Each structure stands twice: as C-alpha cells, then as structure tokens.
Structure 1
Amino acid sequence: MLGSGGGSGSCSKDMAVELGDEPHVLVVDDSLIDRKLVERLLKNSSCKVTTAENALRAVEYLRLGNDTLEGTVSEVNMIITDYCMPGMTGYELLKKIKESSVLKEVPVVIMSSENIPTRISQCLEEGAKMFMLKPLKRFDVKQLKWHLMKCRN
C-alpha cells in the first residue's frame, strides 16, 4: 500500500524546489512501525512524505521500467528505503533508480537494522547517498535535510 503524507510542495523536473515548498520524500519499508516512525520524523521536519510498503510498490509509484510513463508521477526529492524487504531488496531498488534516466539524480538513502560493512560499502558504491542504521532518530533527519537542501541548490 502506498501512503501519502500531507503537504503542498511539488518539484520541477530539475529538482529545483521554490523556497518555501516542502521537499517530497518517498519512504519504502516493509515494517509498518519503521515506516510510520520515519514518516513522523520527516513530517515534523516539514517534509511531504509518501510511503510504500515494499520496493515493488515503490517501483510502481515511480513508474520505473516504463519509459513512456517514467517520471510522470509527482517528483520526489529523496528516496529512503529499507535494505531487507521481501520481493525486492532496497539495494535492488537503488540499482533500478540509478539505471533510470529520469530518477538517477534523486538521492537514495538506505537504512537497515543490521550493521554489515560489506552491505554498506556495496550500497554506497552503487550510488546511495547515505546508509543509516535503524531506528532513525531526529539527528538522522537533520543529516537527511542537509542532503535535501544540498540537492535543491
């Protein structure tokens, strides 16, 4: 199931968001508790949040793999995804995003409850902006916001 948080922000194709607009973040996690936690933290930091319960739903939402429709969904400024999910991992989702001509510049953050150095390195080498350990905390959201602001300028 996809969920969308409140907010009126929207982004243009080049990810330039007008001052005052809320950045739009897609949160992908099969754990309802983790998804809601990240959603609440981001909303409290003035972000518009859309959630997906797994990577396959995120692929549908982002319209990946459909060249004629790809990128026609409302633009996202960042994608935060769990690493370990059934059906498709966060790493596989990251690879699909980085292969997309429309979405490859969108920063992707991988989160996991497991601190496995080889997994972290693999994700960063594939193009993840950050790898964060769950559960996310307010300080983590400050780091995410910094990356969002950097991408918006």
Structure 2
Amino acid sequence: MRPDGARSNSAPSASAEQEQQEPARILIVEDDFLIAMQTETALADAGFHVVGTATTAEEAIILAREQRPSLAVMDIRLASERDGIDAASQLFRELNIRCIFATAHEDPRTRERAEPYAPLGWLAKPYTMPSLVDLVAEGLSKLD
C-alpha cells in the first residue's frame, strides 16, 4: 500500500478510488515534543495523515478510539505510569490497531513483552525520519 492508502496492483474500483483520496491514518505516541513534531512533519510530508499525537498511554487510547488510525508509531517510555507496551496492548486488544515501536528501549525483555501485540516493526532511537517513513510504509503493506 502506498502512503496515500492506494493499493498498487488492483484494478480501480469505487473503494480503491476512495482509498486513493484518503491517506493512511497514523497515530503518534511520543512524549518528547521535538521528536513528536519531527515525526508528524516527516509523515505528513510523505503523504500520511497524522490523526494526532499523544504523550501518554491514556491519551493514545482516547485518540485511537476517536480517530481509528491505521497504525500507531509508539515510544515505550511515556509521560505516565503506563508505558507504550501497555498502550499497544490495549490498542491491539480493543481496536485491532498494531504498532511500530520507535524507541531507545528495544532490549530482548521489552521485545518479548510487546510480541503478543504483533508489532509491525522496531526502530531504534536515534533514527532518521526517512527510515521511520520507510518503516511506516512497510508496516502498512503488512496490513493488506
């Protein structure tokens, strides 16, 4: 799937045309303001629709319920008692939303905690915005 939500190998149909008009919807869950802003800008510039930015697990759940993103870009350490894996768990169980973890915390124990929630990928901080955009596009293609 392309960033604009269109499928590349299917014949045009009413639903495919609608998908072309609606870019993939991405939720950003990141408590570092600068990283969140850079992420939002990079994803928007790449043609994705950022539905919102959350700094806590609780905000992420509320935004996801309201906005129904295609996927979430999730940090592990957040500005609340609950971490990104807790948020990913709830997003996956309640809304069937999967995450890409973009974090400095990707040790084996953390990855093991996240595995039941079918992560679409991992990106270690510090990362480049092009690598994030590429991973989001790759993650969306896994959702087809």
Q: TM-score, normalised by structure 2?
A: 0.76
| Large movers: runs of 4+ above 3 Å | none
Instruction: Work out whether residues 76 and 105 of structure 2, in 8 Å CA contact, stay in contact via their aligned partners in 1.
Output: no
Uncovered stretches (5+) of structure 1, i.e. residues with no partner: 1-8, 10-15, 64-72
Task: Classify the secondary structure of the residue corresponding to 1:108.
Answer: strand
Which structure shows the higher helix fraction?
2
Task: Classify the secondary structure of the residue corresponding to 1:19.
Answer: helix
**Alpha-carbon shift at residue 35 of structure 1 (Å):** 0.7
Partner residue in 1 for 2:38: 37
User: Do residues 81 (structure 1) and 91 (structure 2) align?
Assistant: no
**Alpha-carbon shift at residue 134 of structure 1 (Å):** 1.8
The one of 123, 148, 152 equivalent to 2:140 is: 148
Instruction: Work out whether residues 38 and 136 of structure 1, in 8 Å CA contact, stay in contact via their aligned partners in 2.
Output: no
Task: Classify the secondary structure of the residue corresponding to 2:79.
Answer: coil
Instruction: Work out whether residues 123 and 131 of structure 1, in 8 Å CA contact, stay in contact via their aligned partners in 2.
Output: no
**Alpha-carbon shift at residue 142 of structure 1 (Å):** 0.9
RMSD over equivalenced CA pairs, Å: 2.3
Partner residue in 2 for 1:114: 105
**Alpha-carbon shift at residue 150 of structure 1 (Å):** 3.7
Uncovered stretches (5+) of structure 2, i.e. residues with no partner: 6-15
- What does residue range 8-47 of structure 1 map to in structure 2 within 5 Å? 18-47=19-48
